Amino acid sequence: MSEPVVSQAAEPAVPRHVAIIMDGNGRWAKARGLPRNLGHRQGVDAVREVVRGCRSLGIRYLTLYAFSSENWKRPQSEVSGLMDLLRLYIRRELKELAGGGVRIRVIGDRSKLDADIRDLIADAEAQTRDNTVLTLVIALSYGGQDEIVAACRRIAEEVAAGRLQPEQIDAGVVAGQLHTVGIPDPDIVIRTSGEQRLSNFLLWQTAYSELIFVDKLWPDFGQQDLAAAVAEFQRRERRYGGTGE
Ligand code: FPP
C-alpha cells in the first residue's frame, strides 16, 4: 500500500525585521489626567513586552523610534524625562538583554546627546556586539532625511577625493552610508495610536515595508498586538513592483 500523500503547506514567513513608531504615550497619560512623562514611563513597559514578543516569535531585528530629530523641540522637561527613561532602560535592562542574546544598536545623531548617554550606548553596544538572537535597534535623535543628507555628503566627499566615480553610485553605495548598514530593511512598520504617517522614520529603508496602523496607544500595545501585526503581514502579498505571478 502506498503512503498517504500529506500536503505540506509552507509555514508563513516570520518577518525578519519589525520597526515600530511608538505613538500615543501623551494621549494615554492625558486620558488618565497624568503628566505626559508618565505615559512615556508606561511606554517602557510596552517596549519590554515587545522585545519579549520578538524573541518568542523568532523576529531577528526590532527597531524602535524612541526619539526623533524633531522631538528636541518638545518642552525641556519632557526631553529630559525621555532621556532619563533611556538611561534607566539601558542601565536596568542591559544585563537581562545581554544574557538573552540581544544585541543593542543605536541609530541617530549622537552628537546632540549628553556625554553620559553616549557612553552608556557605546558600552551597551560593545557588551552585546556578539549577540545574535535579536538585534534591538533604538532610533534616538534620529531623522530619516538627516541620515540621507549625511550619506550624500560622505558620497560626495568620496567623489571629490577621486575615490569613487559618479556612475558607481547605486542603491548599495547609498545604503552602505546609512546608520542602518548591515541591518536588513524592515518587513513591517507598525505605528500605534491611529496616526498614519512615517514621520521621518527610516525613509530609505521602508521602500517596500508593509505598513500596519494600529489604533491602540503605545502603552497599551502588547505581545498579542505584535502577533496580530505579524499575522496581518503574513496575509499580505509582497510584489516589489512585480505582478506577484
Ligand atoms: C510618541 O508618543 C512617543 C515618543 C516620542 C517617545 C517614545 C519613547 C518611549 C516609549 C520610552 C523610551 C524608549 C525606549 C526604547 C526605552 P507621543 O508623546 O507623541 O504621544 P502623543 O501623540 O499621544 O502626544
Q: Give me 111's grid cell.
A: 552628537
Q: How far apart are the C-alpha atoms of 71 and 142, rounded to whole Å?
A: 9
Tens-place pLDDT, residues 92-148: 999 999 999 999 999 999 999 999 999 999 999 999 999 999 999 999 999 999 999
The mean predicted confidence, pLDDT, of the chain is 95
Confidence grade of residue 174 (pLDDT, cut at 50, 70, 90): very high
Tens-place pLDDT, residues 43-69: 999 999 999 999 999 999 999 999 999
- Tell me the best of 21, 22, 88, 221 to mutate to test the pocket of ligand 1, counting ligand atoms within 8 Å of each CB and taking the most: 22
Active site residue 131: no
Active-site position among 37, 45, 71, 84: 71
Question: In DSSP terms, which residues pair with 137 in a beta bridge?
Answer: 63, 105
Gap from CA of 48 to ligand 1 centroid (Å): 14
Q: How far apart are the C-alpha atoms of 42 and 58, rounded to whole Å?
A: 25
Q: Give me 189's grid cell.
A: 512598520
Confidence grade of residue 243 (pLDDT, cut at 50, 70, 90): confident
Question: In DSSP terms, which residues pair with 61 in a beta bridge?
Answer: 17, 135
- Regarding the beta carbon of 86 and ligand 1, being less than 6 Å apart is answered yes
Tens-place pLDDT, residues 140-169: 999 999 999 999 999 999 999 999 999 999
End-to-end Cα spacing for the chain: 37
Confidence grade of residue 1 (pLDDT, cut at 50, 70, 90): very low
C-alpha pair distances (Å), 58 with each of 108, 125, 206, 213: 26, 21, 21, 22
User: In the predicted model, what is the mean pLDDT of residues 73-82?
Assistant: 97
Annotated binding site for substrate: 24-28, 36, 40, 68-70, 72, 74, 191, 197-199
Contact 233, 57 (CB under 8 A): no
Residue 11, pLDDT > 60, answer yes
Gap from CA of 41 to ligand 1 centroid (Å): 9
- Regarding the beta carbon of 71 and ligand 1, being less than 6 Å apart is answered yes
Q: Give me 175's grid cell.
A: 545604503
- Tell me the best of 21, 23, 201 to mutate to test the pocket of ligand 1, counting ligand atoms within 8 Å of each CB and taking the most: 23
Q: Could you tell me where the beta strands, DSSP code E, fall in 79-159?
A: 102-107, 134-142
- Regarding the beta carbon of 230 and ligand 1, being less than 6 Å apart is answered no
User: In the predicted model, what is the mean pLDDT of residues 34-47?
Assistant: 98
Write down the domain spans for the chain: 17-143+185-234
Active site residue 185: no
Q: Could you tell me where the beta strands, DSSP code E, fall in the chain?
A: 17-21, 61-68, 102-107, 134-142, 188-191, 210-213
CB atoms within 10 A of CB 160: 9
Gap from CA of 39 to ligand 1 centroid (Å): 8
The CATH number of 17-143+185-234 is 3.40.1180.10
Q: Is the pTM of this model over 0.75?
A: yes
- Regarding the beta carbon of 205 and ligand 1, being less than 6 Å apart is answered no
Task: Give me the pLDDT at residue 191, please.
Answer: 98
Annotated binding site for Mg(2+): 23, 210
- Regarding the beta carbon of 20 and ligand 1, being less than 6 Å apart is answered no
User: In the predicted model, what is the mean pLDDT of residues 179-193?
Assistant: 98
Task: Give me the pLDDT at residue 8, please.
Answer: 57
Residue 240, pLDDT > 90, answer no
Residue located nearest, by CA, to atom 5 of ligand 1: 67
Q: How are beta strands 61-68 and 102-107 bridged, if at all?
A: unpaired
Q: How are beta strands 102-107 and 134-142 bridged, if at all?
A: parallel
Q: Cell numbers 544585563 correspond to what residue?
A: 95
Pick the closest to residue 68 from 140, 148, 20, 151 (CA basis): 140
Q: How far apart are the C-alpha atoms of 181 and 203, rounded to whole Å?
A: 14
Q: How far apart are the C-alpha atoms of 105 and 214, rounded to whole Å?
A: 26
